[in-house]
Structures are given as C-alpha cells and as structure tokens.
Amino acid sequence: MPLAQRKLVIFDLNGTLLLRSPSRAGARQIYLRPYARSLVAYLTHPDVRNWLDCMVWSSAQPHNVSQMVDRVFGAGEGAGKGPLLRAVWARDTLGLSRAKFHQKTQTTKDLAKPWGFFAPTNDPTKSAFPTHGPETTLLVDDSPLKARLQPWNHLCVAEYDATSRIRDLDAQVPDSSTSASGAKSQKRKREPSEEEEEEEEEAAATSGEPYDQTLLAVVGVFSHIRSVANVAAWMRSRGLVAIMDGKESESTESEQSDDALPSDPAQWFTSPRLLAAWAERGRAALRELGIDAASAIE
C-alpha cells in the first residue's frame, strides 16, 4: 500500500498523558501516564517525524500548559517552538469569553482551528507547515465532550485519574501485602466494584500487563493510521474495533471475543481485549524502531 500523506496528532494533557495532583496540596505534582516516555521516543524518532506532525491542545491555563508540556515532551517544548511540537495551545485558544476563561466551564476543541492554522498562507513563518484536515488528524483526548464537533477525528482514551495512578503504583510493588502498598490503597476514594475488578483481572490475564497500557495502544493506532488514506472515514467504519475481526475468526471461542467488544466503537478502550490488541501493535511498532517499551512509573 503506498503511504498516504502526513498525519497530525493533537494531544490533550491532563487525564490523557498525565495526572496533576490537586491544587490544595501546594505546588501541583505532575505524574506521567505509564509509557509516556516510550510514546515521546516514538514521536521523536526520525522515521516517525517523516510522516507525523504533533501538537498539544489543552484547556488548562497557559503557564500550567507550558510546565506540563516541558515535563512530558522535554525542556523547551512548552514554548511551542519545537523541535517536536508544531504548536502548543492552551486555554487562550479555545475562544472563551473573559469570564469563562477564568471559570471551570465545559470547553470544546473545534478542529477547524488547528486545520486553519496549518492551512497554506502567505505568512513566511508558516510556510513549512503541511495542510491538515479530517482525513489526516487524530485528537487524543480523554473527554468525548471536547471532541463533539468532529467525533470521527477523536481517539478517545480512558481518563488517567488518581485511581489509575494508585493501581500503577501498586503494580510496582512485588508483594501486595507490604506497608507501602497498604498505605496507598487506603487513599482509594472507594473500593472498586466487582465488575471493575473483573475487568482489571481480565485485562491483566489478556496481556500479562499490570500497568495502564493506553499509551502503548495509542502508539499502535498511530502506526496503523500511517497508511490509512482517510482517518475520519476509518474511524467511522469502526476501524478501531476491526482489529479484532481476524482474531475472532482464528479463535475457537468466538463467543468470548464478541462479549469483549464495546457496543459503541468510540469507547473502544472499554474492551480489555481490544486495548491489549492495540497495545500489542504499539509494542511491535516500538520494537521495529528499537525503542524500549518501558512503563517508567515516576
């Protein structure tokens, strides 16, 4: 298959690539989602930069965005002048009124804005930018509401929250009865329901992976869309779910696979088998480039 044109990925920060500690605790800590380092190593690899453009779009305040971006993508990237990120956008790019800018309000990321930004212009500082649109773009964001104007360009991911972070810290402790793990477990706001525990167990059984592997799956999706001619059409035609089709036909227990698939394809990540299948693709893509798939809980 001939390679299609360049692609654009737009990253949300909080809940997608990282978790910020609550503000009441003084200076807010930034905790990276597992495999964030591998994701950034993938994005910065010369082979990937040949076909993939990246930017960040967050609804947080500009000074916080710059700090978070530096932490995830490397010092200096927060200013939005690269070398990796083509742009870094914060709350001031969401078109909010002055009052709403300072309030917690439901915001929308209208992809027409970045597409306009990347459109050809007479501005010499922008001349190196390729054109992007619905056929070439994925917004990676944990909030379905923010992407409601262009849902077929949205790669929705599960929110990385305090519970996910505690689960990942606990997974690091070999003996779950140690005091460190016990103390952390007490911080859980609530006990997981039986259903959630079953899901976690199934996820671990499917992949043998104790950590949140969302960002490995994101790498898997990126490596796949490289050769997809129309990203929005691929999403609309259940491309994210179709990865299981081959596996189902090979499987002798096809009933089980059916149960594991989400009824809404946009919620693909709720299926542990589907998430594990994309994470496996991500591992393969990293391996091919000689990048270590390390969870690196920090």
The interface region with Mg ion, picked from 13-21, 40-48, 87-95, 149-157 by CB under 5 A, is 13-21
* Least separation in angstroms between CB 12 and Mg ion: 4
Which is closer to Mg ion, CB of 14 or CB of 207?
14
12 binds Mg ion (CB under 5 A): yes
- Based on CB atoms, which residue is closest to Mg ion, 15 or 34? 15
Q: Kindly tell me which of 68 and 293 has the beta carbon lying closer to Mg ion.
A: 68
Q: Minimal distance in Å, beta carbon 277 to Mg ion?
A: 24
Question: Nearest distance from residue 150's CB to Mg ion, in Å?
Answer: 16
Residue 56: CB minimum distance to Mg ion, A: 11
- Burial tier of 265 (Cβ tally within 10 Å: 0-12, 13-18, 19+): middle
Question: Residue 65: which of 90, 102, 28, 86 has the closest Cα?
Answer: 90
SS3 149: coil
Dihedral of the CA atoms 279, 282, 284, 286 (nearest 10)? -140
Q: What is the dihedral of CA 248, 253, 258, 260, to 10 degrees?
A: -100
Beta bridge partners of 18: 14, 32
53 forms part of the interface with Mg ion (CB under 5 A)? no
3-state secondary structure of 255: helix
Q: Is residue 15 a contact residue for Mg ion (CB under 5 A)? A: yes
Q: Which of 53, 77, 142, 209 binds Mg ion (CB under 5 A)?
A: 142
Q: Which residues bind Mg ion (CB under 5 A)?
A: 12, 14-15, 142
